[in-house]
Every structure is written in C-alpha cells, then in structure tokens.
Chains A and B, each alone.
Chain A
Amino acid sequence: MSVIYILLAISILVAIVFFIAFIVSVKSGQYDDSYTPSVRMLFEDELVKKAPKETKESIQLNKSLNN
C-alpha cells in the first residue's frame, strides 16, 4: 500500500503545478482585464497581409495628417 505515497505525491504535484500557473497568470496581469480578450479573439487575423503596402502607407498617412 505504500504506493499511496507516490499517488499522493503525484496528485499534489499536479495541483501545485496548476496553482503556480494561476499565480503566474495573475502576476502577468491576465486577470486585470477580463473583457477585451473575449472581443479580440473574434477578430480576423489580417495583420498578416500588410507586407506589400509598406511604402504607400507612410505617404498616405503624412498626407492626411497634414491637412
């Protein structure tokens, strides 16, 4: 029955891993804003296709900022 030591050790270890994960996530500020991520995840990931437009962008921007 001394296998109980191993089982307990594993179960507590797993619990502690999750507990540490929780502490780390709180510390990194994940729980400070619980609303925005729920909206953000629904956005299309279209930042990817920005590469070819680089030059045109800055010109356009300057023009519109100046008027």
Chain B
Amino acid sequence: MSTNDCYHCGDDCTATPLFFDEKTFCCNGCKTVYEIFSSNDLSYYYDLQSAAGSTPKAIEGKYDFLDTETIVERLTEFTDNQLQIVNLYIPNIHCSSCIWVLENLNKLNPGVSNSQVDFPKKMLRITYSTEKSSLKAVVLLLAHIGYEPYISLDDYDNKKKTIDRSLLYKLGIAGFAFGNVMFLSFPEYFDLSSNKTNGGDFWLNQYEGLFRWLMFSFSLPVVFYAGKDYFISAYKGLRSKLLNIDVPIALGILVLFVRSTLEIIFDWGPGFFDSLTGLVFFLLLGKFFQQKTYSFLSFERDYKSYFPIAVTKILPNGKEETTQIHTIKKGDRLLLRNEELIPVDGILITGNGKIDYSFVTGESEPVYKNSGDKIFAGGKQLHGAIEMEALKTVSQSYLTQLWSNAVFQEDKTSKFQTITDSIGKRFTIFVLSIAFTATAFWLFHDSSKALNVFTAVLIIACPCAIALASPFTLGNILRIFGRNKFYLKDTQTIEQLAQIDTAIFDKTGTITTAKKSTATYEGLELTEEEESLLKNTLRASNHPLSRSLYDLLSAQNIITLDEFEEHVGKGIIGASNNSKIKVGSASFVGRENQNEIENTAVHISSNAAYKGCFIFKNQYREGVSKLFEAMSQSIQLAILSGDNEGEKKRLEALLPKLTPLYFNQKPENKLQFIKSLQEQGKKVMMVGDGLNDAGALAQSNVGIAISENVTIFSPACDGILDATKFEELYSYILASKKAMKIIKWSFVLSLAYNAVGLYFAITGQLEPVIAAILMPLSSISIVAFTTIATNILGKKLK
C-alpha cells in the first residue's frame, strides 16, 4: 500500500491528506472510523485486510423514523421487554475484516449482546437489550463505522420470510436410506443365487426376510417424502396434458417400489430397494446442485426496495413528524433531506432541487428544479434539504403505476418448456411403447415372464441420467457465469439465453458508462493565463463535472486564488491577478440564448466576456463496437433509448450499419416494442439498467440488467451483468448455446446406457444387481461428463 492511500478505505488521498496516528486518511469520515476502532481495541480490523473500510456518509436525521415504535416493531424479528433481534441488510459487507468488526459490535455498543454476519446474504443479525440501546442507536453506530444498513419499504411490507429447507431434509433422508439399504443389500450381493429352495448360506436364508423388510422400511420415507415432488409434478403435468420428464421418473419410482414390495411379500427375490433409494438420492442431488442462488442479489425487486419506510412530514403548525410513506395524502407537506428519495409525485415548494433520476430513467446527470416545478417519485435529492407538497399518494405515482402492468404479475417460468421436458415427452412415449411391445411378445412366448419384463423395462428406462444431465450442466454453467460476474436468476435463463435471436439495448447507462469523461471545447480559444486560472479554479471545486474537467485539462502550475466562490447548483467563480473567471451553467456565466439543451455543458466566461463551453459526451463502454459487430452476425440488434436524438450520429458511426435506433421511448413504449417483437415469434433479450427498463426487462424472454455495482440497485430481471464484463455478453450467449449442446450429448450417452439396460429388461434377465450397478454408473458418468465438459467451456470464458 503506497503512503498516499487512505489507511482506512484505500482510496487515493488526493490533494489534502489528513494525518493521524502516523497514518494518512482521505477524509474526516475515514479518520473518525479509524479513531473509533483504534480507541476500542478494534485495530485488528486493519491487520485482517488492509484498507478494508469504506467512507461513512452523512446520515443526519436520516434514521429519525426509527424512533417510531410501530416501525421498529415491524422491522425487528423478535421483541420483548428487554430484548430485540433485528436482521439488517448491509451492502457494504465484502471481506473478512467486515465480519470480524461487525461480530465485535458489543465492544462499541455495550447494549448489543450478540451480532452475527451471514456473509453470502450480506445480512447482520443483532441482538440488543432495549434498556441499554435501541434500534436507532445500533443503526447509527453501523452507519458511523461505514456499514450503513439498507432499510427499505420492502423490509417493512414483507414480514418473516421463511427459509425453505425441505430439499435439504429430503436429500438427507434419501442419502441416509440409500446408504443403509446398500449396506443391508450386501448379503444378497454376495450370495445372489440363493434362496430357500436351491440352497445357499444357511444363515442368510434364515435372516433374509429381516434384511428385506428392513430395506422396505427404509425405502418408505424415500418414496413417500423425499420423492413426493416427482409424483406431484407428474400429476400436475398429466392433468394439463403435458408429458414432462417427471412422468417417467414418477412411473419408475412407483414401479420400482410396487414390484420390490411384491417380490419380498411373495418371496420372489430381494427387490430393487437399493436402486430405488439411489435413484431418488441422485435425482435430489441434481436438484440441489441446480438450486444455486445468489442470495445477496435480488432479481425480484420492485419500487418497494428503492423506497424509504418513512419521511418527515411538516404539520400545519410547523412541527416536523416522521410518517410512514403509505399514509402520505395529497396536499401533505414533506421535508426531504440531502440524499433522500422523493416518495410521491409533487411540487417543489422551497429549496434548490438537484434531483438524480438515475433509478427511474437511467440518466446519470442530475436535474435542477426550482420552486413550483413538478417533481416525480423515485428521484433523489442531492443537494441540501427541500420541501415539497404531495400531489398523489405513493401507489398512484407515475413510477409506482408502472408496476401495475400485468407483466409484473405473470410468472415467466411456467410458459417455457425446458429441453428436458421436451425430450421427456418423446422419451415417455418411446419407453411405454417398448414396454407394451415387449410384454405382448412375452405373453405369447412365456406369459409367466410378461409382468416381470413390463416392470423391468419401466425400471431400467427410468430417465435418471437424462434428468441429471440438465441440472448438472446448467448448474455448473450458472456457477461459472457467476465467477465471471454474470449472475443469472436460475438455470432456465441459460436455456432461454441460448435461443435468443433478437437483442434490444437501452442506451444510457447500458452501453454508455455513468461517468462522463470526454469533453470537447467549443468557442473562443482560451489564453494561457485563462487556462491556468480555469484549472486552478476547478481544483477547488468538488462538483463531479469540475472534477472530470479538471482531470481532462493539461497540467498547470498551481497558483493561489485571490478569490473563490461556489454557487451551489450554478457554478464557480475564481479570481487571481485582476482576472476573474466564471465557470458553470449558461445562465450563470451570462450567456442568454441557450440552444444546446441536449448536451451537458460547462460554460466559461472570463472577465465578464463569454468564451465558450466544454461539452461532455456520453462515453460508450469499452468494446461496444466490437460486441455489436460480433452479435450482429447471428442476432438482430436494436437500440431503444429514452433519451433525445442528440447522440444519433455518434451511435450510427459506432454500431454496425443499419442497426435500428429508436429515441424518446417511454417505459411503456419499450414494453410494447418488446411485446410486438415477441408476437412476431422472436425470442427477445432486453439489456437495460434503470427502472425505466423494468417493464421491458420483465416482458422480454431474457431481461439482463447492467450494473456498475451489483449489490446495489438493479430492476427486476433474469440476470445481472457486472458493467466491467459488458463486452463479454456475446461470449456468454455462445457459452449457453454450447451448454445446450453438452446436454444433448449427455442425452445420447444416457440413452446408450438405457439401451444396454433395456436389453437385459426385454430378455427378462434383469437382476437387481444389474440395475443397482447400471443406475449409479450411468448417473455418475453423466455427472462426470457434464462437469468436465462445462469446466472446459468455462476455461475458454475470460
């Protein structure tokens, strides 16, 4: 770590580092956190991982709503007179230092009796005594040390999500029974031909019944509890006249169980309990493997996860009161502090509105509003406090109404037929016809064997390996994508991705970056002196545009300004050696006719004479051109932008020829556009970022959200792609296509096993031991094949 990096957060300490305790800090916030840690014996934090911290943000007044008892009650998991337990989502948790310091919270606040981190979920579970502390105190403490919890309306509305652990139970039961049944089958394996009539070991014959009935009792919970999902799914499929893959599986399990039970009742043989339990165990293992979830990401977000729980209401008598946002009525006066979200559509009353609508529109540049202007829900106030009057209630606001569209209520998954199900249909018909033909044949030749053959065919043809191929391949691909920062909701999304033939991109925030880092200068040339003054004036300003402009200008000698003023929301003034420079908005520098409203510009005037302006351009992500070039060969592309046509020429130059570009698209337009494409039979992928794309993302076959920071905001979607991996998008699509090929090859492989098994079955010589060998062998070789193949595929992804 270089000496110029902040000891706490690792950021570069720009111009003025702070020194404390022989360490450098980039800001007061970081220094304070260090002081808290070091004075409380928590400096081990920095030994675990250097520069692990993050800068705390200003939070003054933000958590006042936690004083309200009803809100606290809704948020806490458990409350009694002395004790409260709360689960908080902390997006900042990222390393082992975080775990350590958060689990040592009791050193910072003696009221905390226990705190436990769930790292994959980024959750912190805190137990504290209500006498010594309060939820507000705990949350403030966390915010002060740089671990601000994220509390949204979602936490308030959805109470108590129960964790579904039933698959683990089922897997445990099946595994337990499988092991024990295998073990109890050993006597039969070693003494295969023996039964009471033709000899064999005396003691085995003596206790054969005991072993068999024990196996039977072990198989009961496997069939009726662990395997019940297959019966339910098969029944549902049949009722809606669908032959899904669970039909032959359920049939196989049922026949295995019935035949084995009959065999031991009438003493025909030992039954197939080992194969039965093994089958269910392997199938559940596949399900478990497929169930990889990114628990720290949410793919189901709606506006509720963006909205705060409460805002400050100003009562007619001038008093402030914290109020739950569902209770906001038309005409209420609200106070919004710095960094707070506008909960409802309304009118700005007092204060300078500098509103960031990036959640809603994807546009990163804040909008300036004056008293009397209309402001919309979803925007975030960036500078100072404002007062507003509500015009609508929360549920009637423009943004929230988007969610009443039917798209958000539909379940996308039910409409899609997976590759396994489509194979399963043909497979079931095929197996049943073989079973009946073979039975018919044996009825004429040796009718005593007919039933035996019929059941044997159904047992051996049970598509265990086929059912495993897809979960293991796709589950593995899902993990590989996850490692490459492409997070998908479920394995089905990969199948959908492989079928994509049309891709629609949003512009702002999707193919452009949030940062504006290129600018061109238009106007009268600046003298050397002016340039030097400009650079030095910018140096003193913290506005994001000043910072990026500062970085763009060539280096100048540092001079001391005689005068410096910053006019919030307007611009800056700097003076030195009798010359004065004004930098800022057009009206601020004294330019009257504004015709370039389409662009973000910084205007400059020197000694009251207008000089010119720097126009900032959206910067396109690296590799956009290349990505589109590659994709256009097999996929139809289009751009749907909510922006105006200002960037049309640049886009046309950048993208492959004749790529359709659509501008001024409202969220509903985007949704309709996707819908009409789908009605033409296209499989559409939507790539977007903001809430304005939410409808289109939900409507599309695969909705992918591009995110600069995956743990923070992204609209409801099927997948989240880290912005740094944007140019790899096409290789992910190609990888999904290859994954489907791997699955098809595994089907071929498992059909080969089935053919061998069917030979034994049709000829009426299927011994339990053959089934017991074939079943796991085919399953394991399929798992091995898919794992190796997907890993080779994953190596190629970079």
Give A contacts to B, CB under 8 Å. Answer: 1, 4-5, 8, 11-12, 15, 19, 22-23, 26-27, 29, 31-36, 39-40, 42-44, 46-47, 49-50, 53-54, 56-58, 60-61, 64-65, 67
A22–B172 CB distance below 8 A:
yes
Residues of B within 8 A of A36 (CB): 99, 116-120
Q: Does B81 lie at the interface of the complex (its beta carbon under 8 Å from any beta carbon of A)?
A: no
Q: Which residue of chain A has the shortest Cβ distance to B163 in the bound complex?
A: A32
**B141 at the binding interface (Cβ < 8 Å):** yes
Which residues of chain B are within 8 angstroms of A61 by Cβ–Cβ distance?
36, 40, 108-109, 141
6 examples of A-B residue contacts, CB within 8 angstroms: A4-B207, A12-B180, A56-B39, A57-B107, A64-B35, A65-B141
**Other A-B pairs beyond A8-B214, A15-B179, A31-B165, 9, CB < 8 Å:** A4-B207, A26-B168, A31-B168, A32-B118, A33-B119, A36-B116, A39-B96, A54-B110, A65-B141
CB of B32 within 8 Å of the partner chain = yes
- Do A12 and B214 touch across chains, with their CB atoms under 8 A apart? yes
- Chain B positions within 8 Å of A46 at CB level: 41, 44
Among A8, A15, A60, A64, find the residue whose CB has the most chain B CB atoms closer than 10 A: A64
In the complex, which residues of chain B have a beta carbon less than 8 angstroms from the beta carbon of A23?
169, 172
Contact indicator B108/A57 (Cβ below 8 Å): yes
A64 and B110 within 8 A (CB): no
Q: Are A65 and B144 in contact (CB under 8 A)?
A: yes
Lowest 7 CB-CB distances: which A-B pairs, in order? A36-B119, A33-B118, A60-B39, A19-B176, A39-B96, A64-B36, A35-B119
Residues from chain B with Cβ under 8 Å of A33 in the complex: 118-121
Name the residue on B nearest A33 (C-beta).
B118
A32 to chain B, nearest CB (A): 6
Find chain A residues with CB under 8 A from B169 CB.
23, 26
What is the chain B residue whose CB lies nearest that of A47?
A: B104
B332 at the A interface (CB under 8 A): no
- In the complex, what distance in Å separates the CA atom of A50 from the CA atom of B48? 19
Contact A39 B107 (CB under 8 A): no
CA A31 to CA B114, docked complex, whole Å = 20
Is B165 a contact of A27 with CB atoms below 8 Å?
yes
Task: Compute how far the CA of A12 lies from the CA of B140 in the bound complex, rounded to whole angstroms.
Answer: 54
Contacts of B32 in A (CB 8 A): 64, 67
CB distance from B335 to the nearest CB of A (A): 23
In the docked arrangement, what's the CA distance between A11 and B183, Å? 10
Q: Is B103 an interface residue (CB 8 A)?
A: yes
Interface: B203 (CB within 8 A): yes
**In contact, B41 and A50 (Cβ under 8 angstroms):** yes
A32 to B123, CA, bound (A): 12
**What are the residues of chain A within 8 A of B165 when measuring CB–CB?**
26-27, 31-32
B210 at the interface (CB under 8 A from A): yes
B172 touches A26 (CB 8 A): yes
Measured between beta carbons, the chain A residues less than 8 angstroms from B172 are 19, 22-23, 26
| Shortest distance between the CB of A43 and any CB in chain B (Å) | 5
Q: Does B206 contact A (CB under 8 A)?
A: yes
Is B753 close to A, CB under 8 A? no
Please name the residue on chain B nearest to A16 by beta carbon: B176
Q: Chain B contacts of A32 at CB under 8 A? A: 118, 163, 165
- Chain A residue at smallest Cβ distance from B140: A65
Asked whether A35 and B176 contact (CB < 8 A) given A26-B165, A54-B110, the answer is no
Q: B183-232: which have CB < 8 Å to A?
A: 183, 203, 206-207, 210, 214
Fill in one digit per residue for B333-372: 1 if any A CB lies within 8 Å of its CB, else 0. Answer: 0000000000000000000000000000000000000000
Asked if B150 lies at the interface with its beta carbon under 8 angstroms from chain A, I say: no
Complex Cα distance A49/B116, Å? 20
B40-A43 in contact (CB<8A): no
A11 and chain B: residue at smallest CB distance: B183
Q: Please measure, in the bound complex, the distance between the C-alpha atom of A5 and the C-alpha atom of B206, giving whole angstroms.
A: 12
Chain B residues whose C-beta falls within 8 Å of the C-beta of A19 in the assembled complex: 172-173, 176
Question: Which residue of the partner chain, among B100, B107, B144, contacts A43 with CB atoms under 8 Å?
Answer: B100
Instruction: Give bound CA distance, A39 to B103, whole Å.
Output: 12
Q: Select which of B41, B44, B116, B144 is within 8 A of A53 by beta carbon.
A: B41
Interchain CB contact under 8 A, B44 and A8: no
A23, B170: Cα distance in complex, Å: 10
B103 surroundings in chain A (CB, below 8 A): 40, 43
B214 touches A60 (CB 8 A): no
Q: Known contacts A33-B119, A50-B107: does B99 contact A40 (CB below 8 Å)?
A: yes
A6 to B324, CA, bound (A): 66
* Cα–Cα distance between A23 and B221 once the two chains are bound (Å): 14
Inter-chain contacts of B117 with A (CB < 8 A): 36
Separation of A65 and B144 alpha carbons in the complex (Å): 7
